[in-house]
Structure 1
Amino acid sequence: MSESSTVQQSFDHKRFLANTAGCAGVYQMFDGNSQPLYVGKAKNLKKRLSSYFRTTGLTPKTEALVKRIASIQVTPTQTETEALILEQNLIKSQRPPYNILLRDDKSYPYVFLSKEEAFPRISLHRGAKKAQGRYFGPFPNVSSVRESLSLLQKTFRVRQCEDSVFYNRTRPCLQYQIDRCKGPCVGLVEAEEYQRDVRFTELFLEGKSQEVMGELVAQMEAAAGDLEFEKAARYRDQITALRKVQAERFVEGEQGDLDVFAIAESSSNFCIHVLFIRQGRVLGSKSYFPQDRLGEPVGQVLSSFVAQYYLGNRVRDIPGQVILPFAIDDIDLIAEALRQLRSAKVEIKHSVRGMRQKWLDLAGQSAQQNLLSRTSSRAKVLKKYEALQEALGLDEQPARMECFDISHSSGEKTVASCVVFDEGGSNPSDYRRFNIAGVTAGDDYGAMRQALTRRYKRLQEGEGKIPDLLIVDGGKGQFGVAKEVLEELGVMDIILVGIAKGSTRKAGFETLILDGGDRELSLDSTSLALHLLQEIRDEAHRFAITGHRARRDKARTTSSLESVPGVGAKRRRELLRHFGGIQGVKAASVEDLSKVTGISRTLAEQIYQHLQVE
């Protein structure tokens, strides 16, 4: 390719256009500081660039762009398709402010099934597909993968542990104890039986649930005929689980892989909703909110987004069919570019019927609803979440966060708190407190270990939701404890963040601990991400202190007599009336105590001994 450029402080567009060729290519606009403003493509560069400098007909936003232009660089290409692909590469690398930018340009998660082992594992995978095995997806987010993995774990009990854990186990783990794994790590299942479960898992992920259920029904009937009713019940439960999923996600008669796009617009705000269909199954969906700084019409916004969605991320899965709500510019051009990348035909349709039209309607309704939510009072919350995603370098915006804190007074009545923030902000109904017992007074590490273990052991057993982000209030010590607990319980795919106070212990000087404890990050005091973390931490602190004070005050106001065996409400009342209060009871001898109505000599000795120990 050849390249021509012009760089001037005061841009002379007439001179520039006089030397611009009328061929296909890409143009890049820069400001006076040589910073990119906009990247575009054109079938005819001369005509397209001339349209920016006409005297009438420009929108105010486009006029604002033109006023900032100090230089333009053009790159001719052989074909318009080549120009489209180059345009998306430049947008991805330069991220010009006037282009429609796709924030989520990371790869989607997949379900990975290893194949080179006697006892394969199933797990979540994101990124390059280098490992030997099969990849199923893509799924719209990690939550969708976890949902599928949880179902498969309950139904077929194929292991999900890391190989490093699997090859070093000497006894079954918690997953075996709660009947979610068959214990291949310690030889509790034959390889033939395990491989059958692996095959069922594979068939289910391929969308062949009907075939799996057919085999399970036959095995259930055979087991019942042999009077093996416990085994028959196991097959029955598997069939029930699969039928439920099939009813929710599978459409009879529909096959093939496709993505369905819909767009909603309100006051120059846009929401593009993508529905993922694989093998006739709805794997999930995701909403995007592109910003349009040039005032483009809705069709152009969708066209730019679809091109960037696929061409700006080469590791993204390209289905055989793409469904759009209406025809867009460059539809044939985008289809040809996708065909080249996929090495197979890609259809882009906007006129569909039957189930595809229902999916399109569903995507449209979701786009409208999500845009309404976006522009409501939650907009500020979403900005904080987006800032946190960007600050921590997360693949996607966290949908659920949990934060733990410890509170006590010199080790007395220690309480741990767990607060939950989801996409709507704080979620008090999911808050939890843990009364810490059996830990040395003042041992914050031991208290944190106990709280985390109790919390995530329950989650591993299927109670509640696993968070995307776990925040611990403390430095590397607390962070290390949390990391050890998660590893011991086999809890995976949770991003761990520690938030430590700085040397001044003042708000705004916190240090974040990331990446397994190997990296520290300090955010600016004005950062929305830091404000969100402070809000979550302070809420955890408040909730822990409230619980601790309530527990401490209850202990201090409770009569010591309540814990004496054989002393009920009536005898306590007689003792307090006789001696004028608890201090008088504590000062009394055994003889004095035995003189109270209803108190025998033996009981008096018990009361005396109990109060003296306290």
Structure 2
Amino acid sequence: MSSPEAPLKGAERIAAYLKTLPDAPGVYRMMNAAGDVLYVGKAKSLKKRVSSYALRGAHNERISRMIAETTEMLFVTTASETDALLLESNLIKRLKPRYNVSYRDDKSFPNILLREDHPFPQLLKHRGAKTIKGVYFGPFASAGAVNRTLNTLQRAFLLRSCSDSVFESRTRPCLLFQIKRCSAPCVNRIDLGGYHELVEEAESFLKGKSQAVQDELKAEMTKASDAMDFEAAAKLRDRLKAMSHIQSSQGVNPSTFEEADLFAAHAEGGHTCIQVFFFRAGQNWGNRPYFPRHDPDLPLAEVLESFIGQFYDERTPPGLILTSEDLPGRALLAEALAIRAGGKVDIALPQRGEKRDIMDRALTNAREQLGRRMAENSAQTQLLEGVAVSLGERTIKDANHRVKPGDAFALVVPPTAPAIPQGEDIPLTVIHEDKDLIVIDKPAGLVVHPAAGNPDGTLVNALIGHCGEDMLSIGGEARPGIVHRLDKDTSGLMVAAKTERAMASLAKQFANHTIERAYNAVVWGAPRDSSGVIESQIGRSPFDRKRMTVLRTGGKRAVTRYKVLEKFGPVERPFASLIECRLETGRTHQIRVHLTHLGHPLVGDPQYGRSRAAPRGKTPGETAAFTAATEFPRQALHAFVLGFQHPSLHKTLRFESPWPADFAALVGALRNLNSP
């Protein structure tokens, strides 16, 4: 009696389908023995696409593994390749196959709704299907972004936010009227015509016509002031302030396009972060990060293309989509999205100008977001690895251990790290030390004080190890003795206090801006003027919370004086230059912000500069100079002068620090550009 034949599997099973497959577009599903969907794919020709899987030895490890697990395939033919792409995106999102790119989606983004089904329209937050009659503005990246915008819109346009039932039952104005966030139409404090004027202004503002609305209100304010109606003028002034607050809180608002979604993808260590930014009516309405699951070997462009297809499976795409990668199926994807949008959709890869600048900032955001995510995961992994799990007398080390009913596990959690910094034997270059203070020459790479990503190995740990634990009582346990700081990759002079008296004296000198601080920096290009003063307001960027930026309003006043010492390269267009900076106010970090704002970021600055390819040199010296600058591993900034009044001796101390070896080598290489 012959034994039954084993069912076909892998390439043989796939090859068996080829006889009946049509040469037509469609979607296929690959499944394993348990019935789980392994992969969903689309094809212009099902027969040709599936036949490629039957070829042996022509696939990478990921595809080979997927083919080996395949025991069954399902097929659906479609009218066109575009329909196949739409169906593929839908199935991937619903089935989440192991070998496809997939991500967690919260289904919908919030919008602002201006209702049109009531004589006095209501302004409110809306999420879900757009079934209510009215004008929708969005999407916004988060409920928080909508709430902040709504609160400010109420101050700017005084539209009601209450429900219809509350509106009908009011007999006197509510608190919102008292705090000037509603015009109280419920009790006739404004007539229907006046309220509709507010509605039209709000609608125009949200559609991007903000300047026209503000100009009109400014004219009304001037007219009221001239007529001595100062109360009306003050109300208009408050509304204008609210509008300005909306625009400043939205960060970078584009001027070259009005409506677009931007996708910036960064991959590292087999993980990917995709930052999605929403621009509507010429305004930035927020962003949200996604971390799609995918095979580590998959090219970033393919990950992004698959993500975008799924992202718009249940959403209406805008007319313009900006991507950080050149998508291999860009034309087909644009055609498919046009069907969903009911109109033309362009997918573009920004190359220059404003779109490129915005994309670069979004990519920085994605890179830093992924870094934070990986750091969090690493910390969790370390904690889990430190946990001892035992079952009876046996220690469980296999993460795939099968748990059975009735098992009792014992967990032993490792002790937490001490919250108070501990002294460590870290070498310090001490320039001056007495009973009151210590001046050190900080090397690049040394973090000043402990934080989440650097709990130890910092300057604070080194100071405690060098000066003793008495340092912990100076200025607080978290940052003992620290009165100022340098960024991790900035080298140069720092002073730390060893007594409370010295701490108070130095802190007061820094606050009064009487400390002498001078820095050498190497920047890309050269400032137009040989010397100058950069004075601005500096605050956290609303576009990227990890960066500081020059602000029109808000922030802190910062003044940096600069002087060009040397230029490297052609006189008419220098490749780089050495400059000296002196601070009148603010912190060292402002130098990086100010020089970037000037258009000449620091060489090697990973946060404010761009990665640059080394141009081809005409001589070995030029090649060495170009390579030294483009591959410099940190921001080229060195604090070479520090002067202050000694707290006890009542005399001025002034110190200078020579360039560290890497900085000196960089300048030396760049000087080759000036050699005849």
Q: TM-score range by the shorter chain?
A: 0.5 to 0.7
Separation of aligned partners in 1, 2:149 and 2:377 = 29
Sort the Cα spacing of 1:252 and 1:18 in 2 relative to 1 into closer, same or farther, 3 A. closer
Match of 1:332 in 2: 331
Sort the Cα spacing of 1:210 and 1:300 in 2 relative to 1 into closer, same or farther, 3 A. same
Match of 1:293 in 2: 295
Output the amino acid matched with 1:133: G
Taking only aligned residues, the RMSD between alpha carbons, in angstroms, comes to 2.5
3-state SS of 2:124 partner:
strand
Sort the Cα spacing of 1:351 and 1:225 in 2 relative to 1 into closer, same or farther, 3 A. closer
Gaps of 5+ in 2: 1-5, 382-452, 454-676
Separation of aligned partners in 2, 1:355 and 1:215 = 29
Match of 1:67 in 2: 68
Q: Note the C-alpha offset of 1:281.
A: 1.0
Match of 1:528 in 2: none
Match of 2:317 in 1: 318
Output the amino acid matched with 2:150: L
Match of 1:49 in 2: 50
3-state SS of 1:302 partner:
helix
Which gives a bigger RCO, structure 1 or 2 (Cα 8 Å, sep 6+)?
1
Q: Note the C-alpha offset of 1:95.
A: 2.5
Match of 2:101 in 1: 100
Separation of aligned partners in 2, 1:43 and 1:369 = 38
Match of 2:274 in 1: 272
Alignment of 1:371-520 (within 5 A): 371-377=370-376
> C-alpha deviations, 1:122-149, integer Å up to 9, x for none?
0011111111110011111111111110
Q: Note the C-alpha offset of 1:370.
A: 0.5
Gaps of 5+ in 1: 1-6, 383-423, 425-614
Separation of aligned partners in 2, 1:105 and 1:79 = 30
Output the amino acid matched with 2:287: S
Separation of aligned partners in 1, 2:324 and 2:335 = 19
> C-alpha deviations, 1:12-55, integer Å up to 9, x for none?
23322333333321101112122222111012223322333433
> C-alpha deviations, 1:565-594, integer Å up to 9, x for none?
xxxxxxxxxxxxxxxxxxxxxxxxxxxxxx
CA contact (8 A) 1:307 1:334 kept: yes
TM-score (norm 1): 0.58
Q: Note the C-alpha offset of 1:83.
A: 0.9
Sort the Cα spacing of 1:291 and 1:253 in 2 relative to 1 into closer, same or farther, 3 A. closer
Sort the Cα spacing of 1:187 and 1:367 in 2 relative to 1 into closer, same or farther, 3 A. same
Q: Note the C-alpha offset of 1:224.
A: 0.9
Match of 1:137 in 2: 138
Is 1:350 matched up with 2:349? Answer: yes
Match of 1:235 in 2: 236
Separation of aligned partners in 2, 1:174 and 1:351 = 48
Q: Note the C-alpha offset of 1:194.
A: 1.9
CA contact (8 A) 2:9 2:69 kept: no
Is 1:36 matched up with 2:37? Answer: yes
Sort the Cα spacing of 1:248 and 1:366 in 2 relative to 1 into closer, same or farther, 3 A. same
Separation of aligned partners in 1, 2:138 and 2:131 = 16
Separation of aligned partners in 2, 1:14 and 1:215 = 71
Separation of aligned partners in 1, 2:270 and 2:377 = 18
3-state SS of 1:167 partner:
helix
CA contact (8 A) 2:304 2:327 kept: yes
Q: Note the C-alpha offset of 1:213.
A: 0.8
Sort the Cα spacing of 1:378 and 1:35 in 2 relative to 1 into closer, same or farther, 3 A. closer
Output the amino acid matched with 2:57: T
Output the amino acid matched with 2:247: Q
Sort the Cα spacing of 1:79 and 1:260 in 2 relative to 1 into closer, same or farther, 3 A. same
Separation of aligned partners in 2, 1:200 and 1:55 = 66
> C-alpha deviations, 1:50-94, integer Å up to 9, x for none?
333433243333333223211001122232111111111222332
CA contact (8 A) 1:154 1:180 kept: yes
Separation of aligned partners in 2, 1:353 and 1:248 = 25
Separation of aligned partners in 2, 1:246 and 1:294 = 40
Match of 1:199 in 2: 200
Q: Note the C-alpha offset of 1:371.
A: 0.5
Sort the Cα spacing of 1:83 and 1:266 in 2 relative to 1 into closer, same or farther, 3 A. same
Q: Note the C-alpha offset of 1:379.
A: 6.8
Separation of aligned partners in 1, 2:324 and 2:204 = 32
What is the number of residues matched between the two proteins?
375
CA contact (8 A) 2:275 2:366 kept: yes
CA contact (8 A) 2:110 2:126 kept: yes
Q: Note the C-alpha offset of 1:298.
A: 1.0
Q: Note the C-alpha offset of 1:255.
A: 3.6
Is 1:115 matched up with 2:113? Answer: no
Q: Percent identity?
A: 37
Sort the Cα spacing of 1:363 and 1:96 in 2 relative to 1 into closer, same or farther, 3 A. same
Separation of aligned partners in 1, 2:378 and 2:131 = 39
TM-score (norm 2): 0.53
Separation of aligned partners in 1, 2:268 and 2:256 = 33
Greater mean deviation of Cα atoms: 163-172 or 276-285 = 163-172
Output the amino acid matched with 1:158: L
Match of 1:302 in 2: 304
3-state SS of 2:79 partner:
coil
3-state SS of 1:277 partner:
strand
Output the amino acid matched with 1:289: F
Separation of aligned partners in 2, 1:168 and 1:52 = 69
3-state SS of 2:140 partner:
coil
Sort the Cα spacing of 1:353 and 1:116 in 2 relative to 1 into closer, same or farther, 3 A. same
Separation of aligned partners in 2, 1:252 and 1:277 = 8
3-state SS of 1:196 partner:
helix
